[in-house]
Amino acid sequence: MSFTCTECGYSCVKWLGRCPECQAWGTLEEKGATTSSVKTKVKKSAGAKSITQVDSTLAVARKTYVDEFDRVLGGGIVPGGVILLSGEPGVGKSTLLLDVAARAAKFENTVLYVTGEESAGQVRLRADRTNALEENLLLAAETDLGSVLGMIEAENPDLLIVDSIQTLASSEVDGVPGGVTQVREVAAALIREAKSRSLSTVLVGHITKDGTIAGPRLLEHLVDVVCTFEGEKHSRLRMLRAIKNRFGPTDEVGCFDMAENGIKSLEDPSGLFLSRSSGSTPPGTCLTVTQEGKRPLLVEVQSLVTESAAGQSRRSVSGVDSSRVAMMLAVLSQNISAVNFAKSDVFTATVGGAKLSEPASDLAICLSLASAALGRPLYAKFVAIGEISLSGEIRNVPNLGQRLSEAARLGMTRAIVAHGALRNVAVPDGMVVRECEHIAEAVATVVKEKAKDPAAGQ
């Protein structure tokens, strides 16, 4: 008998309240004696050879023809590479991979799609809805590892998709499907098959309630790429990120639009983060440029400041960090005498479900709050980019040139940045960029120039 941690796979001969490996409480469960199908024996080897003699063309990525998926992977899937894709239930992992499978099968690649969570008929209905029917796309509803390995032997596919690895089980190993022992054995067997056959493989992984991938942490070390698929349930936007990538960068982000007829790549997702209103810009609205990986995104911040009806003022945020908004309120109250939020309800949100987490959005949040408090709109086609310190100083942010170029591409004509930020930065043609040193100067500049320009906000 032994006790195994359900979180990290640590084993010991006696029960412990806390796992010594991952420090989790109450995760050690009693297990019977397990047998592994992996047997080590001495074999004749061809021997090692110089690294200069290794054929590098065998590891050239092949496109999946889903542009945003290829962007995150670094150009495509490498033959023999194993990708682990995780995400919240219902976020669209299966829909995305069915689209990847159909597009790969369309270009004469044989794709084996193994589903352990749905029946073949259910997957076929989704394929009808998303137009993912291809002759070279082979579908199997199977949960036995031996049967899946037999299919791989018989069909010799170019791409294998397993949805999900927690549903597969080996009859030669004790434990329930999804348990630490089963997941470890199933993953090891599929990875051995992928490496020996140069078979590109995508594994879907469940996540736990705290957002980590279910099963042993060893699973993330065994695979070549670990990706997460994210998105709000009330937003059409979905984002694919690479946490680990042996074949490419980990700072790329793929954007997708979840529509009724399937999922589509978004080469220009900024439109989802802007309001569709026409005419004058209302008070409390300001645009900024945030970066998701290497990709700049134009995001709209909206604020509403109203007199508090109750004795205690309310603070409500959506898409922005509540602590940073609280800090911006304190900075404005300390440095702008015309605004006072002590007896006001403050609401701040982003448009389209966007999330602003980097400090580069501080200036836009501040100007949005000041505009709402003063009841004066900002310029239309205006962006604010900068970090705000506790003293109210505006600080420069990385990749300013790229952010300004993206704003100019989407029709922005004015911008406010930190003092000295334009040094060695090319200002896009047709854009007027103003440098400000302090938040009070930025607010005064916007209000003063607004008063002088009757066309501002139109």
- CA 423 from centre of chain: 32
Distances (CA, A) of 199 to 102, 191, 223, 429: 17, 9, 13, 49
**How many Cα neighbours within 13 Å face the side chain of 157?**
28
How far is residue 84's CA from residue 5's CA, in Å, rounded to a whole number? 22
Residue 205 is labelled as binding a ligand: no
Alpha-carbon dihedral 275, 277, 278, 284, rounded to 10 degrees: -70
| Extended strands (E) in 38-108 | 82-87
**DSSP track, 82-112:** EEEEEE-TTSSHHHHHHHHHHHHHHTT--EE
SS3 content of the chain, % helix, strand, coil (to 5): 30, 25, 45
89 is in an annotated binding site: yes
248 annotated as ligand-binding: no
Query: Any known ligand binding at 249?
Result: no
CB 199 within 8 A of CB 80: yes
90 is in an annotated binding site: yes
Contact predicate 77/159, CB 8 Å? yes
Rounded distance between C-alpha atoms, residue 343 and residue 410, angstroms: 38
93 is in an annotated binding site: yes
Phi, psi of 380 (to 5 degrees): -75, 155
91 assigned binding-site residue: yes
Residue pair 449/415 in contact by the 8 Å Cβ criterion: no
Helix, strand, or coil (residue 259)? strand
Q: Which residues are annotated as a binding site?
A: 87-94
Binding site as annotated, residues for ATP: 87-94
